[in-house]
């Protein structure tokens, strides 16, 4: 398929490419003529409201239009004035029409449209999800320091909605899916709305096999590196100058998981991050800290467990124990929800395939060892009987 064609009354369009002629749908081709054989299956026209920039929809130098046509290879797009004409297969034309309607809603909400938003919108429309792309991309969780924090994928929206509907939510998925960041945004929003009186952020303080007692410095020096990602997210959402005051008054508390033992946490938004590095006993201890008027969000990645060999991850065990319990929800995010560099999703997928292949290989090797052992036992029995 050729490059997108921008059509205007002038012979040259603003991008410098030669404008193509727009098919005249008012004069149908005679049946059996070459034009009839090449006629598109369907055509639609999308009218852009006055005052809305075409660049906001199509991108500078038609970059977003190129993304659309690459994703929908049986689609041709013609632009003239404030009209976008879509021609091609019924499926691609219908999806493209829905896509532009959704992008118009996103642009009307004052949100910029980028390549990721277009690609995710196409995937959502193609999957026929119950949520519409504009509903996902314009949902505002928190406005902070001149910018809005929103879910960027369908999985993220469902995760955020689950936090609104349930007392305890587990966000499980790979790095870069926004599990902790979105939970932090919900916590700050709840505090601002006076739905809770405080925010408690916690993490296991022992990771990668290190013990705090062998690390240099004071206790604060020892635990700060483990809690730094939580501080970083907090600084993105709250005026940095107010953070010392909030922490001094206990409105915001950032502490190792061990500090939760023996407490009952009422009227709080509590986040346990890196939960894959809790033991089953630590997970039970944490969850039973839940008090009245509180919300708990537990986040983690079960593929990145740093516990010593032989120790079961509490995040893995808890899924078997609590799945199906009312008011507890498990949200599973995937590489489709990664919002870091586009390569991160590919890296997550590649490691997932490698891990699955390794597990299959270990299972086959275990099966062969079992067969060999049985063969040795059979031979021993035969020799004994002889």
All domains in the chain, ordered by first residue: 5-137 (3.30.1370.10), 146-338 (3.40.50.300)
Angle between helices 90-108 and 115-127 (to 10 degrees): 130
Q: Residues near 235 by Cβ (< 8 Å), separated by ≥ 6?
A: 243
pLDDT for res 370? 58
Q: Which residues pair with 313 in a beta bridge?
A: 279
Does residue 183 come out as left (phi exceeding 0), alpha (psi in the -120 to 50 range) or beta?
A: alpha
pLDDT for res 364? 84
Least confident of 145-154, 210-219, 239-248: 210-219
pLDDT at 227 over 90: no
The model scores a pTM over 0.85 = no
For 75, phi and psi rounded to 5 degrees?
A: -125, 140
pLDDT at 376 over 60: no
pLDDT at 144 over 80: no
Q: Is the Cβ–Cβ distance between 44 and 51 less than 8 Å?
A: no
pLDDT for res 101? 95
Mean pLDDT of 144-149: 79
Percent of the chain whose pLDDT exceeds 90: 50
**pLDDT tens digit string along 11-54?**
334 333 323 334 444 433 333 334 444 556 899 999 999 888 88
Tokens 């314009």 belong to residue: 138
Q: Is the Cβ–Cβ distance between 4 and 62 less than 8 Å?
A: yes
Of 120 and 26, the structure prediction assigns the larger pLDDT to 120
CB neighbours of residue 98 within 10 Å = 18
E strand map for 238-338: 252-256, 268-272, 295-300, 328-332
Helix (H) or strand (E) run with residue 68 in it: helix 63-71
Q: Which residues pair with 171 in a beta bridge?
A: 299, 331
Q: Is the Cβ–Cβ distance between 301 and 173 less than 8 Å?
A: yes
pLDDT for res 222? 63
E strand map for the chain: 5-6, 42-47, 75-80, 83-88, 142-144, 147-149, 168-172, 198-203, 252-256, 268-272, 295-300, 328-332
pLDDT for res 132? 92
pLDDT at 253 over 50: yes
- Kindly report the average pLDDT of the chain as a whole number: 82
Q: Which residues pair with 62 in a beta bridge?
A: none
Does residue 62 come out as left (phi exceeding 0), alpha (psi in the -120 to 50 range) or beta?
A: left
First to last CA, the chain: 77
Of 22 and 196, the structure prediction assigns the larger pLDDT to 196
pLDDT at 230 over 90: no
- Give Dmax (Cα) for the chain: 100
pLDDT for res 221? 64
Q: Residues near 214 by Cβ (< 8 Å), separated by ≥ 6?
A: none
pLDDT at 317 over 50: yes
**223's tokens:** 């635990």
């Amino acid at each position: 398929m050729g490059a997108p064609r921008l059509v205007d009354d002038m012979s040259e369009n603003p991008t410098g490419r030669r404008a193509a002629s727009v098919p005249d749908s008012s004069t149908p081709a005679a049946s059996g003529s070459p034009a009839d054989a090449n006629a598109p299956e369907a055509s639609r026209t999308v009218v852009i409201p006055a005052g809305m920039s075409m660049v906001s929809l199509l991108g500078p130098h038609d970059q977003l239009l190129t993304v659309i046509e690459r994703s929908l290879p049986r689609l041709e797009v013609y632009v003239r004035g404030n009209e976008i004409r879509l021609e091609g297969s019924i499926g691609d034309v219908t999806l493209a029409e829905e896509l532009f309607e959704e992008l118009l809603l996103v642009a009307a909400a004052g949100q910029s449209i980028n390549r990721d938003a277009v690609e995710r919108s196409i995937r959502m429309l193609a999957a026929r999800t119950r949520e519409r792309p504009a509903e996902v991309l314009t949902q505002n969780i928190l406005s902070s320091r001149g910018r809005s924090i929103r879910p960027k994928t369908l999985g993220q929206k469902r995760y955020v909605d689950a936090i609104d509907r349930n007392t305890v939510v587990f966000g499980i998925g790979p790095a870069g899916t926004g599990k902790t960041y979105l939970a932090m945004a919900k916590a700050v929003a709840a505090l601002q709305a006076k739905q809770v009186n405080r925010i408690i952020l916690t993490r296991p303080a022992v990771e990668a096999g290190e013990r705090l007692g062998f690390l240099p410095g004071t206790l604060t020096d020892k635990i700060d590196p483990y809690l730094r990602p939580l501080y970083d997210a907090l600084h993105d959402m709250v005026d940095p100058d107010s953070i010392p005051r909030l922490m001094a008054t206990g409105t915001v508390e950032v502490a190792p998981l061990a500090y939760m033992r023996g407490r009952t946490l009422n009227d709080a938004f509590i986040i346990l991050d890196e939960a894959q590095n809790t033991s089953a006993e630590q997970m039970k201890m944490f969850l039973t800290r839940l008090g009245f008027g509180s919300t708990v969000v537990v986040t983690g990645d079960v593929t990145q467990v740093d516990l010593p060999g032989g120790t079961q991850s509490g995040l893995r065990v808890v899924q078997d124990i609590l799945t199906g319990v009312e008011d507890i929800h498990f949200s599973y995010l995937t590489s489709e929800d990664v919002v870091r560099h586009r390569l991160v999703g590919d890296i997550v997928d590649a490691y997932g395939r490698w891990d699955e292949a390794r597990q299959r290989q270990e299972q086959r090797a275990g099966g062969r060892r079992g067969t060999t052992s049985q063969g040795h036992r059979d031979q021993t029995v035969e020799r004994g009987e002889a």
